[in-house]
Chain A
Amino acid sequence: MTVIEKNVCCTPSEMSSEAFTLGPLQLGPPCCDPEPHIQIKNLSLSYADKTALSGVSLDIYRGCITALIGPSGCGKTSFLSSLNRLTDMIAGCKIKGEILVDSVNVHAANTDVQALRRRIGMIFQKPNPFPLSIRRNLEMPLKEHGIRDRYVLSHRVEKALTDVGLWDEVKDRLDSPALALSGGQQQRLCIARALVLEPEILLMDEPCSALDPLSSAVVEDLIKSLRGRYTVVIVTHNLAQARRIANYAGFFWMQERTGTLIEFGRCQQIFEAPAHQLTAAYVSGARG
């Protein structure tokens, strides 16, 4: 395993990993000099009649896990969906401000949305494997993105399933229905389906909240192993989880009937030495 760039975001013990098929760790830059992967500048988001989010500015750092915490209804999911333009699917949703992914303006009219979404994978709260076989769940998106070679297809399917720890569980029944898998397996399949397109960024919207505690722990470990390989943005209501896996954390709260980012910083700082009193109240469980 070759480690590219020095990393101070994670402790060395967390970096241990054997025979990972994804190739070398691309660890995030040192935290004292983080490199922004996604830059959000003064983002506001409104639906037909109400403003869901206003004045959000932050940088999301390459190779790190950024957790977004805060109570329900304060715009975290809207924020996440605006990063890969899934907000396009909601009629009447308007976006102001700027989102840059490696200097590509996400919401510019001439942005190739399909190419963008190939770079930015998304995992949803409820596992949503397609009603196809396990194999076709992974092959179909690849084929649609122009990969037809059968050897390449089966290789990448195996690789993605191995990465999420599902290969040994399903290698003998790749042609059976994906919907017959357990909830936790389905969610890992969905992560594999995102990984198979080899994205740079993964957006996760409460990926563990619909799972039982054991499956949740498996998926959490999987997410932890993505650190350094992908830029991960995860929305979670589970503060302990955020604390366990995230390098950075952002705290959202309702202010004047619209969601906004109250505080953003190193995960440790947000939880142990929050600068804002709302953050302090929320992470200590006094409010929210």
Chain B
Amino acid sequence: MDNSHQAYGQLMAWKRDHLMTLFIWLAALMVAGAFLWLLGDLLVHGATHLSWSFLVDAPENAGRAGGIGSIIVSTLLILTVAMLAAVPLGLATAVLLTEFISATSRFGRLIGMSLDVLAGVPSIVFGLFGNVFFSVYLGLGFSILSGGLTLACMALPIFINTAEAGLRAVPDEWRAGAAALGLSRGAALLHILIPAAAPALTAALLLGVGRAMAETAALIFTSGYVDRMPSSLMDSGRALSVHIYDLSMNVAGGDANAYASALILIVLLMIINGIAQSLSEKLLQRRIITA
């Protein structure tokens, strides 16, 4: 009697373990599968339209024909403006939160709460805010500058949260060691803390870039629709995501080029990812060496 009970219990435990393993594998496969499907779909529909001229030519016939040269330039300009604005501001805020005030202080909690709220604000609301504040109030109009600054506001919360976590992960022993040597806080940050947090800061930058590149709604209101090659930051410029949205929703017969543009968007993200990673590694080798 006892023996059969025991055997039954063992069988159930075996079943439970195997079911759990199976479930975990299935879940992982589904995640990977979804990504591969997406990529495969893009490749099948978009790869045939890719050519050098597609990358450099201007769009024609509302994007049905021609290339996306001006779109890529606008996208990169908007991204550059966004990151040039977001990175210094975000890094300064993260440093303030980790090194200068306590996270449990009233001010620290206030900033943390505002960031959480900002991170949850829908992008369309950022678009309206950017339109009212940058385009109209500051008189920047529909321009790459307006769009970039709006994206900076959107990317800030995620950038700050990730950068803050990275700085907090730097061991306190190094802070104490630096202080005990009579180093100023600035020197400790510059020589030890920021380089030590470089991988996390790169991750923060990439998350910010990802958020900015994927953004459509906020840009429609701020950097606009114009698909000409921009001649200055005050020109309107169409971002890749806006272009894809327009081609697939508003332009009959634009699907093929929408696929091709989406493929370019993904490739662009991967290139930026790769550059950022290798820059961060170079920085690590030069400034910071761990065992």
List the interface of chain A (C-beta within 8 A of B).
Answer: 84, 86, 89, 91, 113-118, 121-122, 124, 126, 128, 130-133, 140-141, 144-145, 176-180, 190, 193-194, 197
Contact = CB atoms under 8 A, between A and B. Distances in A.
Contact of B181 (A141, A179, A180): A141
Given A132-B289, A177-B290, A84 B187 contact: no
Given A91-B102, A131-B196, A117 B182 contact: yes
A197 B183 CA distance: 11
Contact of B182 (A89, A126, A178, A197): A197
Interface string B107-137: 0000000000000000000000000000000
B174 A128 contact: yes
Given A117-B179, A197-B182, 11 more contacts: A118-B181, A128-B176, A130-B174, A130-B178, A132-B191, A132-B287, A141-B181, A144-B191, A177-B291, A178-B289, A179-B289
A133 B174 CA distance: 14
Nearest to B173: A128
Nearest to B187: A144
Contacts of A194: 180-181
A176 B291 CA distance: 9
B174 A176 contact: no
Most buried by A among B175, B180, B191, B291: B180
Interface in B177-209: 177-184, 187, 191-192, 195-196
Interface residues of B, number: 24
A138 B231 CA distance: 51
A177 B287 CA distance: 11
B89 interface: no
Contacts, number: 78
Nearest to A119: B182
Question: What are the 6 closest A-B residue pairs judged by CB atoms, nearest first?
Answer: A117-B182, A122-B180, A128-B173, A177-B289, A180-B291, A179-B291
Contact of B179 (A89, A190, A193): A89
Interface of B: 102, 171, 173-184, 187, 191-192, 195-196, 287-291
A162 to B, nearest CB: 20
A132 B285 CA distance: 9
Nearest to B287: A132
A133 B285 CA distance: 10
A259 to B, nearest CB: 20
A126 B196 contact: no
Given A126-B173, A176-B289, A118 B179 contact: no
B288 A132 contact: yes
A118 B180 CA distance: 8
B102 to A, nearest CB: 5
B184 A114 contact: yes
Given A144-B187, A177-B291, A116 B182 contact: yes
Contacts of A131: 174, 192, 195-196, 288-290
Nearest to A91: B102
Contacts of B195: 131
B288 A128 contact: no
Most buried by A among B181, B196, B288: B181
